[in-house]
Chains A and B, each alone.
Chain A
């Protein structure tokens, strides 16, 4: 009854409180990953396995001069916020009509932008020139702007912020320029920086000895994708990106903490509570920023607070999110040649010789990743974890590289798609705690990553693909129930929301945002 009431209320514009952010109205889509736990599972179920056949386009919004939108629309009380680097648009979520537009001036051309965060009467987003900006949610007026880092050094800020108890949490990119990463918290009212956690330890700090010589100075380890949050534990979970130079490990011997790790930070202070490193001394650019999904489930008969992640290195990890203890790890791709398994502590057992070379070394998965920033989902009804995986291999090469300040690539060379093992995308369902494959859906001919999934209480998994199709799969079986050709490559994550009792499904595709609802008229 309470929920129904909420559905029927369309206030002029409600303030978003921490309580809202913690327990969102299912009609809203308040976070990049839906909720703090990043399950991307909506309780809306008017669109379900029986009705999805009647899902039709409601509207399209074209973002002028854009290409490859990567934003997740945020919806609050019928208002949708969409971003493109330097731009924010507020739309009537029922009609796709623009309410206001904000443009950052002068505009540095760097992308992508993955969306806004909302809190109070404000909208927050990061910019190509590495600023965090707060806008008035009703008008798009700029309220404050804070410099996160020097854009001229090469930093930018593509991720969607996460707002926790009046603090705006924001990360930084890129990982491939030898610029060291961090995670920041800013006062949501004033933009004042409250804390900074550096992802590369400085001399004297724990972990600095995992970097040979001065290599920590250009170590990378960035935070270009949003993390998750557990309000009870008051911990932020943030995946950390790759070390630099990406492909040449010779110049940075050691485990290279905290690159390729999951870190748990106290939300009030930014202090490190625990870390778990997925790929120590990575030489394949396997950023560990993939969205950490928080869920509770029994393991060996005991309820555990879990954090799961399908990692770019090809393993699916189950961690205890209270302590960071490694509980379980399984490969989720068929072709994985760089490690023969994981130790009981979760450390990979390397296959000798599968490292980049002058000649080129076949590496499976490829550097593009067994998965990447496409969002996963968890459906509590099935107990399964849904995500997009890439099968295939790369040929990885290395050569010497020199760090240059000013935002130049510091990669130590790169990779190409293996001619023998071309890339192929799949939607896969894994059992949450065991990582067992429950079903898979091949996205025929799709090979480029970026489009993730959405789970709904209607028993559906929505998934985009690089062919431009948005498909609805049955959560239990992976069977296709519905699809639509959006006309452009999808590189963003689907959402669902409701306005005045009507459920919508929406996704950014190419240069448009497309929204669907059941039946056409009225």
Chain B
């Protein structure tokens, strides 16, 4: 395989499978003590399962990694499940990866992923660092400034495997100033994207080799910056954790064809349910599978089920994965034909959508604000909302008619209701706060106020345009 093809293949894999994570700002001070008991660590979302890229045999032992930041440091923690913990290397910059060892490789500039910095730490706290940036002239190893870290067996002169082994931890604070040569900002600003990978390897019995962002064949090394996952710095409470996967439209299209040819013996066409296998497009558990899980399932089958392994080329498997991911893509992630500008004028004009819905501060208030709707709903759901009545009104939008003992009549939607009080947003766009004792009569509407005749009221083009407009309404992460 020539280098060009190889690179192109890798890129398409990365587009499908690279891991993603939002790094939240730490909400409490972090003591680097090798325990992860600070509230900020407890609140932080795990990065997600590690992938066993080159798995042959043995027990897959998972690693739970978390990241946090503040103005001074990037904080990293690994909690490695491990029944055979061993570490012997004591020499600074020694070959720690023979021992039970965790790593982080960081590329602060997403446009130059080949400039990356490595931190490899074994279970007794010996570290190896390299700087793979083109500008670095310091030799094979590198001395990060001000780094503080702690491993579970820190300071021991060795760690032998023992029957009580369960897990071990490394906790690290890496000063952000170490990355100022490549990072857009030091400290990063909210929204800045870096690329990095977290790894786990080594040990005597049941040696491990896994990474957070999957490294798909033919790549054979952790030093594969193209496979690094993407991380974005966010504020505290900024929705840390796994971000949405953005599907690659070309791969998904190709994957759909392959899927519809080879998978529909059991699964349904286009991701629907089949006679002998589940719907891959449903909002269910399989959709929380990682790309690595899906790859394993297609390549090797699922033990204990009728799902067979497939001999198809890995590249095709990855296209199918892209297709499966596209099935859960929200409207913002897919291409939608139609004229967005015309759709906007239909929304605010003939369509009368804006009489109840607001987008970026313009429009009515009885219905949900749609400013971010394309990031929340699938394209199909947007079309359904315009054409098919929901069986039950959504919470906060249930129509009510209240007759008060005072004689006043209020019609609107119940923002909230329980046994003792009712908060109604009236058709008059005013809030009416009512206790049960004030009510003479109360009627609940069984249908949402949302009209579902858009396809009849609008021309075919107008309908498509308004769908296209809605499908672009997203405060996008990417």
Q: How long is the Cα–Cα vector from A405 to B391 in the complex, in angstroms? A: 41
B304 to chain A, nearest CB (A): 6
Q: Does B42 contact A (CB under 8 A)?
A: yes
Residues of B within 8 A of A109 (CB): 42
B37 interfacial contact with A, CB 8 Å? yes
User: Within the complex, what minimum Cβ distance (angstroms) separates A247 from chain B?
Assistant: 10
Whether A469 lies near B419 (C-beta < 8 A) is yes
Which chain B residues in 436-453 approach chain A with CB under 8 Å?
none
B:205-237 near A, CB below 8 Å: none
Given the known interface contacts A397-B278, A400-B307, the answer about A444 and B419 at a Cβ–Cβ threshold of 8 Å is yes
User: In the assembled complex, which residues on chain A have CB atoms less than 8 Å from the CB atom of B285?
Assistant: 397, 399, 411, 413-414
Interface residues on A, range: 35 or more
Interface membership of A152, Cβ < 8 A: yes
Contact indicator B278/A444 (Cβ below 8 Å): no
A438-465 residues with Cβ-Cβ distance < 8 A to B are: 442-446, 465
Contacting A at CB under 8 A, from B72-103, are 81, 83
Contact B419 A483 (CB under 8 A): yes
> Known: A65-B42, A413-B278. Is A397-B284 also a contact (CB below 8 A)?
yes
A152 contact from B60, B81, B302, B306, Cβ within 8 A: B81
Contact of A106 among B35, B304, B390, B391 (CB under 8 A): B35
B273 adjacent to A359 (CB under 8 Å): yes
Given A401-B304, A411-B285, A151 contacting B166 (CB threshold 8 A): yes
Contact B37 A107 (CB under 8 A): yes
A65 to B274, CA, bound (A): 46
Closest residue of A by beta carbon distance from B41:
A109
B418 touches A (CB below 8 Å): yes
Assess whether B417 is in contact with A469, with CB atoms less than 8 Å apart.
no
B305 within 8 A of A: yes
Cβ–Cβ < 8 Å partners of A465 in chain B:
418
**B109 adjacent to chain A (CB < 8 Å):** no
Q: Which residues of B contact A404 (CB under 8 A)?
A: 60
Q: Which B residues are CB-close (under 8 A) to A150?
A: 166
Partner of A406, one of B81, B274, B284, B302: B81
List residues 127-180 of chain B with CB under 8 A from any CB of chain A. Answer: 166-167
Contact residues in B for A442 (Cβ distance below 8 Å): 419
A residues less than 8 Å from B18 (CB atoms): none
Give the B interface residue count (CB, 8 A).
Answer: 37
A416 touches B283 (CB 8 A): yes
- Given A65-B39, A358-B278, A359-B273, decide whether A467 and B418 contact each other with a Cβ distance below 8 A: yes
- Chain B contacts for A360, CB-based, 8 A: 273, 282
Given contacts A399-B278, A414-B285, contact A445 B416 (CB under 8 A): yes
Chain A residues contacting B307 (CB-CB under 8 Å) are 400
Contact of A358 among B166, B274, B302 (CB under 8 A): B274
- Most-contacted residue by chain A among B167, B303, B418 (CB, 10 A): B418
The docked-state distance in angstroms from the alpha carbon of A343 to that of B392 is 36
B277 CB–A CB distance under 8 Å: yes
Closest approach, in angstroms, between the C-beta of B95 and any C-beta of chain A?
28
In residues 394-411 of chain A, which contact B (Cβ within 8 Å)?
397-402, 404-406, 411
Task: Report the minimum CB–CB distance from B58 to chain A (whole Å).
Answer: 12
Q: Which residues of B contact A251 (CB under 8 A)?
A: 304
In chain B, residues 32-90, which have Cβ atoms closer than 8 Å to a Cβ of chain A?
35, 37, 39, 42, 59-62, 81, 83
Asked if residues B167 and A152 are in contact (CB atoms below 8 Å), the reply is: yes
* Contacting residues of chain B (258-306) with chain A, CB-CB under 8 angstroms: 273-274, 276-279, 282-286, 302-306
B477 interface contact, C-beta 8 A: no
Task: Say yes or no: B418 contacts A422, CB within 8 Å.
Answer: no
Tell me whether A342 is interfacial, beta carbon within 8 Å: no
Nearest-neighbour CB distance to chain B for A118, whole angstroms, equals 27
Residue of A nearest to B34 (CB): A106
CA distance A400 to B419 in the complex (A): 43
Rounded to whole angstroms, the CA-CA distance of A106 and B38 in the bound complex is: 11
Taking a contact as CB atoms under 8 Å apart, the answer to whether B277 and A358 are in contact is: yes
Q: Which of B383-409 contact A (CB under 8 A)?
A: 390-392
CA A326 – CA B390 in complex, angstroms?
43
- Is B35 touching A105 in the complex (CB atoms < 8 A)? yes
B420 within 8 A of A: yes
- For A441, the closest partner residue in chain B by CB is B419
Interface assignment of A322: CB less than 8 Å from any CB of chain B: no
Main secondary structure of the interface of A (DSSP, over half): loop
Pairwise interchain contact A422-B392, C-beta atoms closer than 8 A:
yes
Chain A nearest Cβ from B385, distance in angstroms: 13
Select the residue from A401, A405, A442 with max chain B CB neighbours within 10 A: A401
In the assembled complex, the CB of A253 is this many whole angstroms from the nearest CB of chain B, namely: 13
Pick the residue among A107, A152, A398, A483 that contacts B420 (CB under 8 A): A483
Q: Assuming A105-B35, A106-B37, A400-B305, is B392 touching A445 (CB within 8 A)?
A: no
Q: Which residues of B contact A368 (CB under 8 A)?
A: none
In the assembled complex, which residues on chain A have CB atoms less than 8 Å from the CB atom of B83? 152
Please tell me if the beta carbons of B418 and A446 are within 8 angstroms of each other in the complex: yes
* Nearest B-chain residue to A152, judged by Cβ: B166
Shortest beta-carbon distance, B218 to chain A, in Å?
Answer: 27
In the assembled complex, the CB of A404 is this many whole angstroms from the nearest CB of chain B, namely 8
Chain A, residues 75-116, CB within 8 Å of chain B (1/0): the string is: 000000000000000000000000000000111010000000
Q: How far is the CB of A510 from chain B (nearest CB, A)?
A: 16
Complex CA gap A106/B37 in Å reads 7
Residue A205 is within 8 A (CB to CB) of chain B in the complex: no
CB distance from A128 to the nearest CB of B (A): 12
Q: What's the nearest-Cβ distance from chain B to residue A367, in Å?
A: 13
Q: How far is it, in angstroms, between the C-alpha of A445 and the C-alpha of B423 when the chains are bound? A: 13
Q: How far is the CA of A152 from the CA of B80 in the complex (A)?
A: 11
| Contact status of A445 and B417, CB under 8 A, knowing A105-B37, A406-B62 | yes
- Which residues of chain A in 402-434 are interfacial with respect to chain B, using CB atoms and an 8 Å cutoff? 402, 404-406, 411, 413-414, 416, 419-420, 422
Q: A105-B35, A152-B166, A422-B392 are in contact. Are A397 and B282 (CB under 8 A)?
A: yes
* Per-position 1/0 for A480-507, Cβ under 8 A of B: 1001000000000000000000000000
Q: Cβ of B284 and Cβ of A402 under 8 Å apart?
A: no
Q: How far is the CB of B419 from chain A (nearest CB, A)?
A: 5
Q: Would you call B305 and A399 a contact (CB within 8 A)? A: yes
Pair A399/B286 contact, Cβ less than 8 Å:
yes
Q: Which residue from chain A places its CB closest to the CB of B266 in the assembled complex?
A: A358
CB-CB nearest in chain A for B422: A444
User: Which of B273, B276, B391, B419 contacts A420, CB < 8 Å?
Assistant: B391
Q: Is the CB of A400 within 8 A of B391?
A: no
Contact of A471 with B by CB under 8 A: yes
| Contact pick for B392, options A397, A402, A419, CB 8 Å | A419
Q: How far is the CB of B444 from chain A (nearest CB, A)?
A: 10
B contact residues around A420 at 8 Å (CB): 391-392
Report whether A419 and B166 are in contact in the complex, using a CB–CB cutoff of 8 Å: no
Q: Give CA–CA (A469, B420) in the complex, Å.
A: 9
Note all chain B residues with C-beta closer than 8 A to A446: 418
Which chain A positions have C-beta within 8 A of B392? 419-420, 422
Alpha-carbon distance between A411 and B278 when the two chains are bound, in angstroms: 15
Q: Which of A109, A151, A358, A442 has the most CB of B within 10 A?
A: A358
Contact B284 A413 (CB under 8 A): yes
In the complex, residue of chain A having the shortest beta-carbon distance to the beta carbon of B286: A399
Q: Give complex CA distance A398, B391 in Å.
A: 24
Q: List 24 A-B contacts (CB under 8 A).
A: A105-B35, A151-B166, A152-B81, A152-B166, A358-B273, A358-B279, A359-B279, A360-B273, A360-B282, A397-B278, A399-B285, A400-B304, A400-B305, A400-B307, A406-B62, A413-B286, A419-B390, A419-B392, A444-B417, A444-B418, A445-B416, A445-B417, A446-B418, A469-B420
By Cβ-Cβ distance, the 4 closest A-B pairs, closest first, are A400-B305, A358-B278, A152-B166, A467-B418
13 extra interface residue pairs, beta carbon distance < 8 Å, beyond A105-B37, A469-B420? A105-B35, A106-B35, A360-B282, A397-B285, A400-B305, A401-B304, A402-B302, A406-B61, A413-B278, A419-B391, A419-B392, A420-B392, A444-B417
